[in-house]
Amino acid sequence: MSPDLHSEHPEPKPDFDQYFDCLGLPPNASLQDIRAAYSRLYLEHLDSPPSIPEPAVNFAQIQAAYEILQQRADHPSDPDPEEIPTDRPPTSPKPGCITSQVFDPDQMQMVRQKLAAEYQAITDRYEKTLAQINQQKLAKLEAELLEPGLWGGMTAGDYWLTLAISAFLCLLGAWVIIAGAWWVWWVVAGIWSGFWGLVIIGTVSTPRITAAQAKRLKPIQDEINQSEQQAKTELEQAQKEFQQHQQEQVAYFISLPRDVITDTYIASLRPIQQFYLLKAIQKRQDSETVKQNLKTGAKILAGVGLLAALFTGLPFL
């Protein structure tokens, strides 16, 4: 009798990677990522017009892959499933599958802190860059045998010229105060004289340098000023890109039809997506109608006051 080939050489177990591929996810995706991907694909399936050709992976396969991966996550000891069927009609997400929190206050605060830390990191990098530029400045001054205190100094000619002009303009304001017959002139002239008096004080406190020192300082000053300006430009660009990314995420949820925003849909989102959705609800003109469509979410919004306090002090939202 020939041996039982199936008992000696069992068939290999199905590769779960194909199910992750159906949802557009990596093999190490979490259950929360699986639910979010399925929710997104389900909405795309509802919005796609009938005239669009059938995609390579139809929704029946997506539905089956979602249920298989969810069952595997909930019951990892169950037998391996069969291959994905292709003739099953699509169904909507099952409310019984929702196990994650909707607008969990602790998770929302964690997302807020994470985004605030990322935004602060941009400023921290800028401050670190300025510190490095300052070290470069000190090294260059030392190489030219120049004291750091000479930075921003004035030559004797510039010093006396600035002092003379400032003193003249200050005395001119004083003369207007004495000769003026209208109190408005006194106020304006007083501010004028006070300003140029401060210029005189600043000029007197400025270190004086020789022409030779000024000649050696100028290229260093030009280079350092250029580096500082570049660092500031990079800071503003990074802040702008960060802010634009956050606003794009919020704009997506603002554009969703209000009937889509249900507790079931919210539970399928990752915490950071729920955070953006919260901001979108705050900005939407139909926010009250959206809240009426929710049950769990509306209770949390009202009970914790997330919309009132969560976004306070965030300059990028």
- CATH code at position 67: 1.10.287.110
Residue 36 neighbours by CB under 8 Å, 6+ apart? 268, 269, 270, 273
pLDDT at 224 over 90: yes
Average pLDDT of the segment spanning 243-269: 85
130 & 238 share domain: yes
- Select from 60, 55, 57 the least CA-distant residue to 25: 57
What number of residues does the chain have?
A: 317
156 & 193 share domain: yes
pLDDT of residue 74: 59
**Maximum Cα–Cα distance across the chain:** 129
Q: What count of other Cβ atoms lies within 10 Å of the Cβ of residue 82?
A: 9
Single-letter amino acid code for the residue at 43: L
88 & 164 share domain: no
pLDDT at 122 over 50: yes
Residue 65 placed within a domain: yes
pLDDT at 42 over 80: no
pLDDT of residue 290: 65
254 & 112 share domain: yes
pLDDT at 176 over 60: yes
pLDDT of residue 304: 44
Q: What confidence tens digit (pLDDT) does each residue in 279-294 have?
A: 888 887 666 666 666 6
pLDDT at 57 over 70: no
Count of structural domains within the chain: 3
pLDDT at 181 over 70: no
Radius of gyration of the chain (CA): 34
* Most confident residue range from 162-166, 204-208, 230-234: 230-234
Gap between the Cα atoms of 174 and 193, Å rounded: 6
Structural domain including 275 reads 105-120+244-309
**How does the average pLDDT of the chain come out, rounded?**
77
Gap between the Cα atoms of 151 and 138, Å rounded: 10
pLDDT of residue 104: 80
pLDDT of residue 56: 47
Distances (CA, A) of 148 to 70, 138, 142, 309: 66, 7, 8, 47
**Chain position carrying tokens 């298989």:** 68
pLDDT: is 48 or 229 the higher one? 229
Gap between the Cα atoms of 210 and 13, Å rounded: 84
Q: What confidence tens digit (pLDDT) does each residue in 146-171 have?
A: 888 888 888 888 889 999 999 999 89
Residue 3 placed within a domain: no
pLDDT class of 68 with cuts at 50, 70, 90: confident
Gap between the Cα atoms of 283 and 285, Å rounded: 6
- Select from 17, 18, 97, 145 the least CA-distant residue to 265: 97
Residue 284 burial by Cβ neighbours in a 10 Å radius (0-12, 13-18, 19+): buried
pLDDT at 243 over 90: yes
256 & 297 share domain: yes
Average pLDDT of the segment spanning 85-103: 45
pLDDT of residue 286: 61
Average pLDDT of the segment spanning 224-252: 94
| DSSP run (H or E) holding 122 | helix 105-143
Six token digits for residue 314? 């965030």
Single-letter amino acid code for the residue at 72: R
Residue 136 placed within a domain: yes
113 & 161 share domain: no
- The verdict on pTM exceeding 0.85 is no
190 & 225 share domain: yes
81 & 221 share domain: no
pLDDT at 119 over 80: yes
57 & 147 share domain: no
Average pLDDT of the segment spanning 231-252: 93
Residue 154 bridge partners (DSSP): 208
